[in-house]
């Protein structure tokens, strides 16, 4: 089958790749662009570790056809830090011991970023809701919830 | 429909490591010419923090800053042998091996420093900040970096050490069947409070309170993160996950994360933890380790709490709504037990 030319923005940078029909965004990001931050967990939208932002909206890259992001902006965990400085969410995850094995962490961070971008001062319930599509085996979620609340507006979250 | 509250308690006595074949782990420590140290292991850190803890143990034993130690692990082709990361053995077994290796390396380091300072090695001490000096005379000092350079380029010494920890094999007494399966035990007690819906059979966690005695906590934040996270693995085993829901019938097994149930962020409850430190005589700096014990007491405590709430004893896991509902029906309704 013929490959399709695909252009989109990847973490603010224009990229152009050739994809086979049916290639999903996760494979395109990892294998064609070399951005290994979105992880392959289940490949069917059940775990959340492949989460990315498309035009600022949270999406599961394993369930998104690569061709659907033509002309759009894709943000992954690789793009959220500012040069050598960690994003406040990354800092808060480290400070709150919100990662153990780390496999869920990219998806958790992107889900949390999607939340804070539209709601800078979320309640605890809103944080729980925002990460409820992501599963974690190690942390028991509590440190992750605390980290997101700590990062929200520099820690001034509503109760 | 009524939601019944119930409280259950469980205590565990948990052996650290195992006895079979002596349960050995090895470590190798060597200095680089820069005065930094590398610990070679093949023990796997799955996120529990073993790399951090073995780094601390090595730095403390050598008497150097923790920043000067690098732990290189997870490759069994290049690292010395390790039995594995299981049975809560990492801190205790691997930590002891690292301590032994670091002690031997420290001996060579002090000899090399003594040669440079022209004193007896027994008169030297480390300051923990990267210097070695004569006891009582801090001005007669040499940095570990200069010692490493002298050892490497002048004295022809390798500042290195080998360590292994091996538990003496305990034979079974043919008369009594007695043996000593472990040298070191950790302890825990956990109280679980649940709410059981007698119409749906669903069990919600309300809160947990626990106390863990795990030797000296070498890294209290890592201990806490394991206890918090591990408790939810226990809840998950108690209430949600199984590859064989109708065991021994293999039917209706889950095929993916959508069907294999695990608690999500909306299912968690407050958990208060008290860590009690009673140093183990044979542990590295008195450590035993949290490990699997994080999850173990949760299962019986939850089962007991369900009995307390509705009067049904479920003795196979996980305790699904279906099992709770069938048991409530079989006894003709919920029978809340007295709460103490």
pLDDT tens for B183-237 read 889 999 999 999 999 999 999 999 999 999 999 999 999 999 999 999 999 999 9
Separation of alpha carbons B115 and B263, rounded Å: 60
**Domain presence at residue B172:** no
Tell me which of A25 and B250 has the higher pLDDT: A25
Separation of alpha carbons A30 and A19, rounded Å: 13
Q: Show residues of chain A in contact with B266, CB under 8 Å.
A: 128-129, 132
What are phi and psi for residue B339, nearest 5 degrees?
Answer: -100, 130
Range of the domain at B33: 21-165
Query: Are B304 and B189 contacting, i.e. CB atoms less than 8 angstroms apart?
Result: no
Q: Does the pLDDT of residue A158 top 70, yes or no?
A: no
Distance from CA of B222 to the nearest CA of A (A): 8
* Boundary (domain end) residue, out of B109, B131, B165: B165
* Boundary (domain end) residue, out of B136, B165, B194: B165
Whether residue B201 sits in one domain with residue B317? yes
* Boundary (domain end) residue, out of B119, B137, B165: B165
CB contact under 8 A, B229 and A131: no
**Domain presence at residue B63:** yes
Q: How high is the pLDDT of residue B63?
A: 97
Q: Show residues of chain A in contact with B233, CB under 8 Å.
A: 137, 140
Report B:229-288 residues touching A (Cβ under 8 A): 229-233, 256-258, 262-266, 268, 271
Whether residue B189 sits in one domain with residue B279? yes
**Domain presence at residue B158:** yes
Whether residue B301 sits in one domain with residue B201? yes
Chain A contact present for B115, CB below 8 A: no
Whether residue B252 sits in one domain with residue B216? yes
Whether residue B192 sits in one domain with residue B302? yes
Whether residue B185 sits in one domain with residue B321? yes
Q: How high is the pLDDT of residue B168?
A: 80
Q: What is the ipTM of this complex?
A: 0.89
Q: How high is the pLDDT of residue B311?
A: 97
Whether residue B210 sits in one domain with residue B159? no
Distance from CA of A96 to the nearest CA of B (A): 9
Whether residue B320 sits in one domain with residue B252? yes
What are phi and psi for residue B195, nearest 5 degrees?
Answer: -125, 125
In this prediction the pTM is 0.92
pLDDT tens for A49-98 read 999 999 999 999 999 999 999 999 999 999 999 989 999 999 999 999 99
**Domain presence at residue B156:** yes
CB contact under 8 A, B265 and A132: yes
Q: Report the CATH number that the domain containing residue B102 is assigned in CATH.
A: 3.30.365.10
Whether residue B103 sits in one domain with residue B6? no
Report B:37-66 residues touching A (Cβ under 8 A): 46-49
Whether residue B200 sits in one domain with residue B65? no
Q: Show residues of chain B in contact with A101, CB under 8 Å.
A: 46-47
pLDDT tens for B113-143 read 999 999 999 999 999 999 999 999 999 999 9
What total number of domains does chain B contain?
2
Strands B37-40 vs B69-72: parallel, antiparallel or unpaired: parallel
Separation of alpha carbons B174 and B157, rounded Å: 50
Name beta bridge partners: A82: A85
What residue has token string 């003496």? B168
Q: At A159, is the pLDDT very low, low, confident or very high (cuts 50, 70, 90)?
A: very low
**Domain presence at residue B245:** yes
Whether residue B279 sits in one domain with residue B185? yes
Q: How high is the pLDDT of residue A154?
A: 73
Strands A73-75 vs A4-10: parallel, antiparallel or unpaired: parallel
What residue has token string 């008369």? B175
Q: Show residues of chain B in contact with A41, CB under 8 Å.
A: 257
Low-confidence ranges of chain B (pLDDT < 50): none
Q: How high is the pLDDT of residue A157?
A: 44
Whether residue B206 sits in one domain with residue B271? yes
In this complex, how many residue pairs, one in chain A and one in chain B, have their CB atoms less than 8 Å apart? 66
Q: At A29, is the pLDDT very low, low, confident or very high (cuts 50, 70, 90)?
A: very high
Cis preceding linkage at B248, omega within 30: yes
**Domain presence at residue B339:** no
């Amino acid at each position: 089958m013929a490959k399709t030319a695909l252009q989109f923005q990847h973490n603010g940078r224009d990229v152009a790749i050739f994809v086979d029909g049916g290639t999903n965004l996760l494979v395109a990001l990892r294998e064609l662009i070399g951005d290994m931050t979105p992880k392959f967990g289940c490949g069917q939208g059940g775990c959340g570790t492949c989460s990315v932002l498309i035009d600022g909206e949270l999406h599961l890259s394993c369930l998104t056809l690569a061709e659907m992001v033509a002309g759009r902006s894709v943000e992954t965990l690789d793009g959220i830090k500012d040069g050598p400085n960690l994003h406040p969410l990354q800092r808060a995850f480290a400070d709150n011991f919100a990662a153990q094995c780390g496999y869920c962490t990219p998806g958790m961070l992107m889900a949390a970023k999607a939340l804070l971008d539209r709601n800078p001062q979320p309640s605890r319930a809103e944080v729980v809701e925002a990460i409820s599509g992501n599963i974690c085996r190690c942390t028991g979620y509590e440190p992750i919830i605390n980290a997101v609340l700590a990062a929200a507006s520099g820690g001034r979250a509503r109760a | 429909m009524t939601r019944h509250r119930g409280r259950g308690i469980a205590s565990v006595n948990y052996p650290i490591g195992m006895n079979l074949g002596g349960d050995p782990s090895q470590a190798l420590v060597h200095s680089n010419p820069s005065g930094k140290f590398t610990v070679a292991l093949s023990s796997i850190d799955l996120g529990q923090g073993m790399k951090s803890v073995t780094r601390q143990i090595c730095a403390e034993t050598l008497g150097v800053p923790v920043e000067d130690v690098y732990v290189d692990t997870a490759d069994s082709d290049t690292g010395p042998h390790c039995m594995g990361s299981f049975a809560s053995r990492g801190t205790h077994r691997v930590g002891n091996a690292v301590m032994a290796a670091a002690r031997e390396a420290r001996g060579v380091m002090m000899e090399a420093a003594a040669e440079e300072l022209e004193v007896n090695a027994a008169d030297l001490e480390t300051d923990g900040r990267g210097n070695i000096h004569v006891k009582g005379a801090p001005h007669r000092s040499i940095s570990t970096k200069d010692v490493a350079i002298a050892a490497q380029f002048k004295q022809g010494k390798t500042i290195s050490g080998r360590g292994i920890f091996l538990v003496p094999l305990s034979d079974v007494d043919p008369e009594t069947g007695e043996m000593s399966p472990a040298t070191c035990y950790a302890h825990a007690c956990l109280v679980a409070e649940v709410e059981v819906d007698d119409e749906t059979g669903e069990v919600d966690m309300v809160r947990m309170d626990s106390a863990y005695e795990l030797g000296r906590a070498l890294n209290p934040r890592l201990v806490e993160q394991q206890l918090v996270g591990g408790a939810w693995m226990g809840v998950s085993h108690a209430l949600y996950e199984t590859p064989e829901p109708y065991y021994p019938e293999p039917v209706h097994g889950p095929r993916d994360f959508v069907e294999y149930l695990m608690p999500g962020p909306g299912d968690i409850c407050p958990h208060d933890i008290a860590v009690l430190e009673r140093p183990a005589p044979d542990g590295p700096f008195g450590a035993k380790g949290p490990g699997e014990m994080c999850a173990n007491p949760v299962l019986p405590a939850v089962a007991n709490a369900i009995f307390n709430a509705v009067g049904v004893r479920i003795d196979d896991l996980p305790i699904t709504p279906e099992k709770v509902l069938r048991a409530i029906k079989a006894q003709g309704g919920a029978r809340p037990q007295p709460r103490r």
